[in-house]
Every structure is written in structure tokens, then in C-alpha cells.
Amino acid sequence: MEIGIDSFASAMYGDNNTLSSVDAMEQLLERIELADQVGLDVFGIGEHHKKEFLDSATAVILSAAAARTKNIRLASAVSVLSAADPVRVYQSFATLDLISKGRAEIVAGRGSAIEAYPLFGYDLRDYDKLFSEKLELLLQIRDNEFVTWEGKFRPALDNLPVYPRALQEKMPIWLGVGGTPESFIRAGKLGLPLMVAVIGGQTHRFQPLIDLYREAGKAAGFSPDELKVGLHSPGYVGTSTETAVADYYPGYAELWTKLGYERGWPPVTKGKFDGLIDDLGVLIVGSPERAAEKILRHSEALGGVDRFTFQMDNAGLTHKQLMNAIELIGTKLIPLVKKDTK
């Protein structure tokens, strides 16, 4: 199993959120550099177009990270493909692939936040149609130097080349999904690796959806080895479970209560949080031993997970706390997980 981190390039930490954007970006690059040094497998950067985050130009951040790292794979988490031009998405990540010497990946999704749609002139009523059409084009570009294609939302391409080409013969494109059965089935039919974002409730409830993915992939003629499953969840690793909870809970409760007002969720309480960090809950918060045990339990419940990524910088944690967590993940947690998944 691969272990990594997904970040939204948060600018929401420091004393009273006073950290400058310049310092926040430099600290993010330091964390990616450390993740590479201590043996994490992948680091992903999301895409948002909000004041609280600095990740609107994902490939630019990852390219800066590529110049400072050697081994870690560099991915989007996710690219909001519905509101983007697939030609430019491919060109950006192909360029990243060249800079990183073959370490680039795309996780494509529709996006749970909607600010990109009006910003780039798209209608939310076309939410799924946009994604379906643009994913088809992105895959054609990935697999063919010259592309002939026609759709509804973008001008046609008539045997036109797209450059530069990625170093990897088939640059990985994962499908990022939430809880919609149709999305799992689509990924299976296309034979794409699946990245499942589980941000609330109990992780094992996604097993029927992952079964749909594997069944659709098998029916489409893809082998089990091609049908990879990744799991993205909020979490944090501390020297002890008690320390991790004490560090993580205040910022988590503040942020998710704020999001709740925007999206209609109830406020976070300590009791609800305790349920999310128990054996079945989604949050991976604890000591390296506790976190490794829970990751393995979730993998078993879902019929096997090929990649797990922590979302850590959404709880007001300091740069020092995040750096310590990355070191613990690399030096303590990963050896425990990989010992049991060989």
C-alpha cells in the first residue's frame, strides 16, 4: 500500500491566521520536501479558488516541489476537470512529468466546491455532462499524440497534436469520487484507478460502492491489478493518540462547524468527533501504531486499498506540527503498514 498526503495549500494557520501567503507556500514546499526525504509515496495538491487556500494553480506548486524532491509521486487532489480545458490540464501535467522525471499523476474530479464554475463561465446544471465529456477528451489526449474529437462544451479537434508529451508512456489518471454510484461505475467501465474521498461517517459503508467499481471494471474486461483503489481521509499522526487528538480536535471542530453553516451540516461536538476517531470512524487520528492499525482495518473492510492519503492541513495545525506528523508517518507508520501489506 502506498501512503501519502493531500494538501489544499491552506493559508489558515499561524497566530490568528496571520501567516503570509509567501510563508505559507514556502512551508508547504518544505513539507513536500520532507515527505520525500522520509519515504512517503505520494503528495497531492487540491484545487480551490477561495481566499483560504493557495492551490488554484496546482501544477505550478507541484512543479516547484518537483525541483526539490527525487522520489515522491506528485499528484492533483483533485483537478476540477469540469471547469477546465483538458488540453491545458494535460499540457500542465505533462510538463510537470518532464520536470519530475516521470512522477506526475492526475486525480480528476467534478469538485465538491463549486466556485470554479461561475469563475470560468460554466453552468452548474451541466455539472456531470461537463465532466463526462472532458474526461473523455483528457483520456484521448493522454493516449494519443494527434487527437480528433468533437463535443458540446469545447471546440472540436481535427487531427491536432498536443504537446509536450509526458515522459510516462501512460501518465496515471485517477478518478476522484465522493458517494455517487454512477461515478464508481464510470471509473470501472473506463478501467481508471479510483480515489475515494471519505470525509465523514464510517469508512466501511463505501464497500458496496467499491464493489460496483470492481464489478463494472471486470465486466469491461479489466484485470483486478488495473482496478486500483485509493482512499483519501482527514487525519493526523502524533507521538501518542492523546497528543494527536489534543492537537487536531480544536481546529477540526472550528473548520467543520464553519463548513456546516455553509452546507447544512450540524456543528461538530466532542462526542461526534470521538465517534469519528473510533475503530470504524473515518478520521485517522492517533499515534503511528493506532493510525497504521486503522488504515489496515479500513483496507480490509473495503476489500483492499492500494493507496491511502491523509488530509492534514485542514485543522489549523502549525507548520511544526505538520512536519512532525510527516516524519512520524514516514519513519513509524509506513513501516508498520508495509510490513502487513507485502
- Integer angstrom CA distances of residue 156 from 87, 121, 271, 334: 12, 19, 54, 46
pLDDT one-digit tens code per residue, 201-233: 899 999 999 999 999 999 999 999 999 999 999
Identify which of 110, 114, 162, 158 has the alpha carbon closest to the alpha carbon of residue 134.
110
Centroid of chain to Cα 319: 20
CATH code, 2-339: 3.20.20.30
Please answer whether residues 329 and 322 qualify as being in contact, where contact means their C-beta atoms are separated by less than 8 angstroms. Answer: no
Please answer whether residues 310 and 198 qualify as being in contact, where contact means their C-beta atoms are separated by less than 8 angstroms. Answer: no
Mean of per-residue pLDDT scores for the chain: 94
| DSSP states of 90-101 | HHHHHHHHHHTT
d(Cα 56, Cα 150) in Å, to the nearest integer?
28
Predicted TM-score (pTM) of this structure: 0.95
| Strand ranges in the chain using DSSP code E only, listed in sequence order | 2-7, 42-45, 73-76, 79-80, 104-109, 146-149, 157-161, 173-177, 194-197, 229-237, 284-286, 307-311
Please answer whether residues 3 and 329 qualify as being in contact, where contact means their C-beta atoms are separated by less than 8 angstroms. Answer: yes
pLDDT one-digit tens code per residue, 144-167: 999 999 999 999 999 999 999 999
User: Is residue 292 pLDDT above 90, yes or no?
Assistant: yes
User: Is residue 257 pLDDT above 90, yes or no?
Assistant: no
Provide the residue ranges of all domains of the chain, joining segments of one domain with +.
2-339
Banded model confidence at residue 248, pLDDT cuts 50, 70, 90? very high
- Percentage above 90 pLDDT, the chain: 85
